[in-house]
Structure 1
């Protein structure tokens, strides 16, 4: 049997999460697919928190797993940051892809077109201010070989 000392004080952060979300132990356990007893054991520090619980807290409530384990950073991750697109860059990429397709005998299939858009967008994001250079026809020819 493990003791609460074996698991640091992250069990207290599990309590913080539940209190922050204004949920009872029963409700959060149900939402996480756990029995009330198992969840209560995590809060008391009687059981080590499994990776599956870290993943469920992240997926259900955007709880930062690193914060949960260490206390560093913020409890809630701004998950939307990863999904925000720079519309101007995306528009430029789409124009460049349309130029490429206009020169082809056969249009790109959806999968290849999506991969090309992703590649060009990623390259533009990596280089920042000089993204227009990536979208020049001569540069695109090198990237798409």
Structure 2
């Protein structure tokens, strides 16, 4: 979508996103993990839009939260901007994966290794933690057991 100067209701922009994606209210609600009633209340302006909904719209559909709230800019982010790699984080994740592989009886095949790199990188980006901090998390221990 192109730039707009419409500073109207942000609830109307939630409906615009759904229409742009050609989804019914029910399907949009399910994709966002909401009940139909809760989602419809957001579109009608009967409920304030929580940060979690902004995050879900961004993560699942690349909707610009600033556009959603103000009407300024573009509805959908350029995917290149959203997925630009942070080289330092990627390097740390790769070193962490090497340490994980050293604990395994057999090295990971390329597909599993790529999947693990992707999962760890995403966690670093979402949580703002370093790869080492994330590896200390007990969930990672469970995750790495699935790669054995």
TM-score interval, smaller chain: 0.5 to 0.7
| Larger helix fraction of residues | 1
Report the 3-state secondary structure (helix = DSSP H, G, I; strand = E; otherwise coil) of the residue aligned with 2:80. helix
Larger Rg: 1
TM-score (norm: length of structure 1): 0.52
TM-score (norm: length of structure 2): 0.51
Q: Following the alignment from structure 1 to structure 2, what is the Cα–Cα distance between the partners of residues 53 and 84?
A: 23
Q: Following the alignment from structure 2 to structure 1, what is the Cα–Cα distance between the partners of residues 21 and 30?
A: 14
Superposition misfits of 4+ residues, deviation over 2 angstroms: 81-85
Please list, as runs of the form range in 1=range in 2, the aligned pairs for 1:47-126 lying within 5 A after superposition. 47-84=47-84, 111=95
Query: Which one has more relative contact order, counting CA pairs under 8 Å at least 6 apart?
Result: 2
Deviations 1:74-119 (A, max 9, x none): 000013235457xxxx9xxxxxxxxxxxxxxxxxxx629xxxxxxx
Consecutive unaligned residues of structure 2, counting only runs of 5 or more, are 1-7, 88-93, 97-148
Consecutive unaligned residues of structure 1, counting only runs of 5 or more, are 1-7, 91-109, 113-145
Q: Following the alignment from structure 1 to structure 2, what is the Cα–Cα distance between the partners of residues 35 and 82?
A: 28
Aligned length: 83
Aligned to 1:38: 38
